[in-house]
Amino acid sequence: MNEQNTEGLRHIRRALLSVSDKAGLVDFARALRGLGVELLSTGGTAKALREAGLEVRDVSEVTGFPEMLDGRVKTLHPRIHGGILAVRDNPEHARALAEHEIGPIDMVVVNLYPFEQTVAREGVTLEEAVEQIDIGGPAMVRSAAKNFRDVAVVTSPGIYPIIFAELTETGGGLSLKTRSALALEAFSHTSAYDGAISSYLSTALRPKDSRGGEDLRSAFTITDFIKVNAADKWLAAGGPFPEGVSLLLSKDADLRYGENPHQKAALFKVFQEQAGIAQAEVLGGKEMSFNNYVDADAAWQLVCDFEETACAVIKHMNPSGVGTAATLEEAYRRALATDPVSAFGGIVAFNRRVDEAAARALTEIFTEVVVAPDFEEAAVEVLKSKKNLRVLRAGETQQPSGLDFKRVTGGMLVQTRDTHRLRREDLKVVTRRQPTEEEFAALLFAWTVCKHTKSNAIVYARAGQTVGVGAGQMSRVDSVRIGAMRAQLPVEGSVLASDAFFPFRDGLDEAARHGITAVIQPGGSVRDAEVIAAADEHDLAMVFTGIRHFRH
């Protein structure tokens, strides 16, 4: 071991072990005993160690008090916390330990009651949840982490092999560098644990107002801000954006790699959210990748924005095709027809339970992922015939709730989600010609798809079917050109949606050249009059929404 890693070395002579998760416990404890470490323990942990033939001393013997109150009080005692918190090179602390016959504890091995697993069970009661709130465990973890200069704290069985390797290499000691890292991990561990408890109780104990609804004034907490619609409710109630926002993440699975093979990645679930792609059940196919999750989420959010039976095909977070129809199969074939070439290897999402007919249509070309609220049993069997096709059951369709987080270097951007849905009555006709009923339907459809397309976004569509998509261009007029250029269906007679206003008339002139009949856009440009005049010149109907949908 190099000199840097032996700095501040502290030998482990006495360890306290009290764990809920007993994976690897016996092997680790046996390794400690092999290095001459005295073992202290409690309850079930002590029993497991004795049954493995290991010599262990009960905490109750050290404290002089038995475990009390159904095990609620075991380690909350000066003979335990004094031994953990004493600063070894402080003479006053040394005298206090000697006076009260308290032995130092050099290592604390603790993981906490399984609160998150308990509250995740269907039908769990408040009483059952409360009993899984650990008190003594977090207290010991925090004491040991605070005194990291002298004490090591181990909160996960996954760390055991690393600790044992260093103990073996140093002859029974751990470096300051290692103890510091363990302390940081410990505080993260207790922070996540407390966050899980706060999140659960903020719902379970929330008082109701006289009408049975949530009392925002008395019950609102920062953690609630991430719950279903809480942000919108709070802001609508006149509350300011909070100074602090809690976001509790727990790792669900390691992924093969990130966006690219040289990047590491994992899927973390947001504890406060119980729906969405991260929570979806994988029914079949290969392991989901980082990019699969990102694209599946984009597809799922898009179809959840439709009341009609809808299907979306996504490539690289942009829709290559979207269709609505009376049946899922027809909706899929409409979406596919928009751009069958780009659909190869794409992500497909439905907003209805998938039947066998839709499943068979889906398997006609190579698809990476299909996501839907649910699948008929026959549909699952059809889809499983494609062994690499990932099948995700996402549950009830609903717009994403809570806050939207975007990471930037050195910080985080936080905003409420874009859950706006446009209604027919919101539209303002600004041209001489009114849209026909068919055009109104096509415009609203195109607008919804455009909302889920990377800006600058242009969508050509007919009622219930996309015709061409221009996405992510630096110039809006380029998006107009690309959307028409890539169209596999006739552009003539379609309508056009733009996610933001046209800054000049050139975009509208270009679209008119391809034979569109109507336009939907936010309006609000200083050149609106010029753009409206261009629409009138081309005999186009145009409506303003008064709202934009930038998507970066």
User: What does the alpha-carbon distance between residue 293 and residue 278 come to, in Å, rounded to a whole number?
Assistant: 8
Fold of 276-419: Cytidine Deaminase; domain 2 (3.40.140)
- Lowest mean per-residue pLDDT among 53-67, 140-154, 405-419: 53-67
Q: Does residue 360 surpass a pLDDT of 70? A: yes
pLDDT: which is higher, 477 or 204: 477
**Which candidate in 286, 316, 384, 386 is catalytic?**
316
Fold of 424-544: Cytidine Deaminase; domain 2 (3.40.140)
| Residue 316 among the catalytic residues | yes
pLDDT band at 159, cuts 50/70/90? confident
Task: Please state the rounded mean pLDDT for residues 365-387.
Answer: 95
The whole-number pLDDT of residue 465 equals 97
Length of the chain: 552
Q: Does residue 70 surpass a pLDDT of 50? A: yes
Question: Residues near 266 by Cβ (< 8 Å), separated by ≥ 6?
Answer: 251, 252, 253, 254, 255
Q: Does residue 226 surpass a pLDDT of 50? A: no
Give strand pairing partners of 393. 281, 372
Q: Does residue 213 surpass a pLDDT of 60? A: no
pLDDT band at 90, cuts 50/70/90? confident
pLDDT: which is higher, 530 or 127: 530
The whole-number pLDDT of residue 479 equals 95
pLDDT: which is higher, 217 or 196: 196
Residues 411, 146, 118, 203, CA torsion sign: negative
pLDDT: which is higher, 77 or 334: 334
Q: Where are the domains of the chain?
A: 3-199, 208-246, 276-419, 424-544
Mean residue pLDDT of the chain comes to 85
Q: What residue has token string 């008119």?
A: 512
Q: Does residue 224 surpass a pLDDT of 50? A: no
Q: Does residue 207 surpass a pLDDT of 60? A: no
Q: 75, 140 in Cβ contact below 8 A?
A: yes
The whole-number pLDDT of residue 240 equals 58
pLDDT: which is higher, 324 or 189: 324
- ∠ Cα 529 535 540 (to 5°): 145
Q: What does the buried/exposed string (b/e) look like for 305-315 if buried means 16 or more CB atoms within 10 Å of the residue's CB? A: bbeebbbbbbb
pLDDT: which is higher, 8 or 65: 8
Q: 266, 424 in Cβ contact below 8 A?
A: no
pLDDT band at 530, cuts 50/70/90? very high
The whole-number pLDDT of residue 66 equals 67
pLDDT band at 517, cuts 50/70/90? very high
The whole-number pLDDT of residue 463 equals 92
Task: Please state the rounded mean pLDDT for residues 113-131.
Answer: 76
Q: Does residue 212 surpass a pLDDT of 50? A: no
329-333 contact pairs (CB < 8 A, 24+):
329/355, 329/357, 329/358, 329/361, 331/464, 332/358, 332/361, 332/362, 333/361
Task: Please state the rounded mean pLDDT for residues 117-139.
Answer: 77
Shared fold status for 3-199 and 424-544? no
User: What does the alpha-carbon distance between residue 463 and residue 430 come to, in Å, rounded to a whole number?
Assistant: 21
Give strand pairing partners of 284. 391
- How much is the CA Rg of the chain, to the nearest whole Å? 30
User: What does the alpha-carbon distance between residue 60 and residue 314 come to, in Å, rounded to a whole number?
Assistant: 61
Q: Does residue 180 surpass a pLDDT of 80? A: yes
Question: What is the CATH code for 3-199?
Answer: 3.40.50.1380
- Joined tokens for residue 76: 């909350």
Q: 210, 202 in Cβ contact below 8 A?
A: no
**pLDDT tens digit sequence for 94-103:** 788 788 878 8
Task: Please state the rounded mean pLDDT for residues 55-61.
Answer: 82
- Lowest mean per-residue pLDDT among 226-235, 503-512, 538-547: 226-235
Task: Please state the rounded mean pLDDT for residues 292-302.
Answer: 95
Most confident range (mean pLDDT) of 147-156, 175-184, 212-221, 367-376 is: 367-376
User: What does the alpha-carbon distance between residue 397 and residue 312 come to, in Å, rounded to a whole number?
Assistant: 14
Task: Please state the rounded mean pLDDT for residues 403-425.
Answer: 86
Q: Does residue 219 surpass a pLDDT of 70? A: no
Q: How far is CA 330 from CA 198, 212, 325, 358, 380, in A?
A: 46, 43, 6, 8, 19
Q: Does residue 148 surpass a pLDDT of 70? A: yes
Q: Which of 184, 231, 223 is nearest to 204 (CA)?
A: 223
| Residue 514 among the catalytic residues | no
Task: Please state the rounded mean pLDDT for residues 267-284.
Answer: 82
**Which candidate in 146, 233, 384, 386 is catalytic?**
146
Q: Does residue 511 surpass a pLDDT of 50? A: yes
Q: Does residue 5 surpass a pLDDT of 80? A: no
- Joined tokens for residue 542: 């145009």
The whole-number pLDDT of residue 526 equals 95
